[in-house]
Chain A
Amino acid sequence: MATPLIVSEVAKAFTMHLRDGIRLPVVANVSFSVRAGECAVLGGPSGAGKSSILKMVYGNYGVDQGQIIVDHHGQLVDLATANPRTVLSVRRDTIGYVSQFLRTVPRVSALDVVAEPLVARGTDRKQAQERAAELLDRLNLPERLWSLPPATFSGGEQQRVNIARGFITDHPVLLLDEPTASLDATNREVVISLIEEKKLKGVALLGIFHDADVREAVADRIVDVTEFAAGKAAA
């Protein structure tokens, strides 16, 4: 399918039960789609709901209304209503995610953290580790760090582990939550070229980039999130 991700009339609010049930609307009427081979960027100021949209697409946040349709194994799945098992299957094979922060696991080496998504899909561990090594090398992570758990790494080193982990698979949809936030110029360039390669392979990318240089380099289209402000839709 040429449009592997379609978001349609999605709304989200948080209800804070510990604060007398106060309701915080986040976004409403979110509608856009991402075509294969393009990088759509969510634009708008902090607090507009960019990360929330990304998290809903990944199934990490619940969806109050609307549909998030993804082409999964040739079938259309609505992530807004899919059961946990389906969401896990979509994450394994269809939607990849590079978050801002790495959730580290004690005692697992950086190399294995990166290789894991491939191993989970049945790739031989050794092959997966080789592929992980290539990516870490490309992202200039010193080889002496590869066998260490990333918990003690610097912010930029952890982020590169995270990026390698997100880019190692060939998921047809890839979500990027500020992947370049704490990188130096050299490594930002590496990420830009990794994104270009994904586009050439027909991957649909949806990202948040605060860094204007990176955004201009990779974005084919800006999706203005302020259009989905919860108050606006109600009016």
Chain B
Amino acid sequence: MTDEPLLRVTALSKYYGSRIGCEDISFDLWPGEVLAIVGESGSGKTTLLNCLSTRLLPTSGTASYRMRDNQWRDLYRMSEAERRFLMRTDWGFVHQNPADGLRMTVSAGANVGERLMAIGDRHYGNIRATAVDWLGRVEIDEERIDDEPRAFSGGMRQRLQIARNLVTGPRLVFMDEPTGGLDVSVQARLLDLLRGLVTDLGLAAIVVTHDLAVARLLSQRMMVMKDGHVVEAGLTDRVLDDPRAPYTQLLVSSILQV
């Protein structure tokens, strides 16, 4: 384990015209660390996630990423081809709606295998064996490998999307409300699965969620956003058990107890 961060974000801002998307965001992310970004709709958390994952270019600021060869690269000065390669190999992106991250009309096995082929794997037997292994790890029965995700339930689709993202052994995964839109029982299973995978694989992850319970379960650190700004940041249990910013106190006190 090296003692250097994986991602360094400095004074990142994104404006939509004169409106603030997110403003002056700075943080470091270390290998194996899960950072939750919480806030309500319109707080800028998704804008920030999209800037970090280079799906959106920021107005100002920098984000540097430490590549596998330990070279630091400025994400916004890479060529489009380099960025796409990073997205396909070293990064994953789990969308809230699995249909945005899956190809709905090809088989489950092909959805997982496609990313392997993108990094140059050509041996059909190996690809299929890896796909079977990954379906098992996300608790999808092997006999569903030739089915299209269209025929899967919401929870299964989300698990398939996770397998598709993790099959290339990424070091950093972005997740946008990964449990949004799922039934609570399905959510619990998915969260537990994610938690296990993140720990076992030593993944770094940035998880956008409005659900504080998800943040508590998955992340070690969190940032609370409001109106495009980070209003509070720190250790997840510290922020949730001793919230200091007025907005964080409001969020924490709004949780319904079961």
A residues whose Cβ falls under 8 Å from a Cβ of B: 14-18, 55, 59-62, 84-85, 87-88, 105-108
Contact = CB atoms under 8 A, between A and B. Distances in A.
B211 to A, nearest CB: 14
B250 A18 contact: yes
Nearest to B5: A85
Interface residues on B, range: 20 to 34
12 contacts: A17-B249, A18-B250, A59-B235, A60-B242, A61-B238, A61-B242, A62-B238, A87-B235, A87-B238, A88-B235, A106-B189, A108-B192
Given A16-B249, A18-B250, A107 B188 contact: yes
Contact of A105 (B195, B235, B241, B246): B195
Nearest to B217: A105
Contacts of B122: none
A16 B33 CA distance: 31
A60 B220 CA distance: 12
Interface in B188-247: 188-189, 191-192, 195, 217, 220-221, 234-235, 237-238, 241-242, 244-246
Main secondary structure of the interface of B (DSSP, over half): helix
Contacts of B237: 60
Contacts of B188: 106-107
Nearest to B247: A17
Contacts of B235: 59-60, 84, 87-88
B246 A17 contact: yes
A84 B249 contact: no
B253 interface: yes
Contacts of B221: 84
